[in-house]
Amino acid sequence: SYSAISGPILKRNSQCTFRCCSSAVVSHPETSSPSPPPLKKRVVSGVQPTGALHLGNYLGAIRNWVSLQDTYETFFFIVDLHAVTLPYETKDLSKATKDTAAIYLACGVDISKGDENVGVALLTYPVLMAADILLYQSDFVPVGDDQKQHLELTRQLAERVNNLYGGRKWKKMGGRGGSIFKIPEPLIPPTGARVMSLTDGLSKMSKSAPSDQSRINLLDPKDVIANKIKRCKTDSFTWLEFDNPDRPECNNLLCIYQLVSGKTKEEVAQECQNMSWGTFKPLVTDALVAHLQPIQARYEEIMSEPSYLDGVLAEGAAKATDIADSTLNNVYQAMGFLRR
């Protein structure tokens, strides 16, 4: 199940899913007939409602999803079925789902944008992931450059079903013919796809307890952020530089500063090249606090209005269900099943 945010957060069913919907008013000269807008390609992605979302989730995925809303028809989900594939506290799942939904919205997921937004998972459960993607007829799935292979099973399953039951065979069953499932392509995000651990610049930020010193959580207060940055792993060099393979922690902190400050890589390199760690760490801390403060404020505002959040999830679920039902009807028809 999922929690959906529509207009990028959807709720797919009674559990949870996010969906995004948008509308626009386009004026045309009175002398010409309005033409239908071009169909947008659909993007599917999501995250598990387990643990606190951290800076790596935000810079590596959520912020990129926000930027996709104007270009693609987007489906973003909170994938709670994926969350139960490991031991979990049943009493915490519903709260974690709503917390995650609120953070999505606070980070800029806009329910007034997009047409249909759906989501996948953490790309670790191939069959469940494939079902998520194919059910919502996704054109693209945002993945890191090192995760493209995770889509291969999804593509193989779609191609097999299309070959066995699609085309003329489906048409003979009363369907439209052609492909039953779209064949999804990987969508490689821009910078920020890999934010590394604060205690090991060669490892990604962990999914462990929120108190973990290796990561900055999106809802960490200023003093906690300052303490984590102060204690993060550095090296003995007296200058700062990007892209030195012998200095992964240095590169990671510079990348984080670049991403949250909005500066270019060249600007950061020039600004920080002669800085000591004692000077640079407070600079990173201040930039992180300034960047996360509006997100935290918006999160508190959303969580104080439970009816608003429930409404967003319910609307997203209804819209996502329409697409899922259409896909299932096609599959039942093409494969000869009686519709239950």
Q: Count the neighbouring beta carbons within 10 Å of the beta carbon of residue 314.
A: 14
Q: Is the pTM of this model over 0.85?
A: no
What's the CA dihedral at 259, 196, 65, 221 to 10 degrees? -70
pLDDT at 27 over 60: no
Pairing of strands 73-79, 2-4: antiparallel
Express each pLDDT in 168-212 by its tens digit: 999 999 999 999 999 999 887 665 447 899 999 988 876 655 558
328 near 340, Cβ under 8 Å? no
Express each pLDDT in 100-145 by its tens digit: 889 989 998 887 765 433 333 333 456 777 888 899 999 998 876 6
The share of the chain scoring above pLDDT 70, in percent, equals: 78
Domains and CATH numbers, the chain: 42-187 (3.40.50.620), 212-304 (1.10.240.10)
User: What local confidence, expressed as pLDDT, does residue 308 receive?
Assistant: 92
Express each pLDDT in 229-286 by its tens digit: 999 999 999 999 999 999 999 999 999 999 999 999 999 999 999 999 999 999 999 9
DSSP β-bridge partners for residue 224: none
- Between CA 274 and CA 238 the distance in angstroms is 8
88 near 46, Cβ under 8 Å? no
User: What local confidence, expressed as pLDDT, does residue 211 receive?
Assistant: 56
Extract the runs of DSSP E, i.e. beta strands, from 115-204: 140-142, 185-187
Q: Which helix (H) or strand (E) holds 159?
A: helix 152-165
User: What local confidence, expressed as pLDDT, does residue 23 receive?
Assistant: 31
Q: Count the neighbouring beta carbons within 10 Å of the beta carbon of residue 321.
A: 17
Tokens matching residue 178: 């052609």
Q: Which helix (H) or strand (E) holds 227?
A: helix 222-231
pLDDT at 21 over 50: no
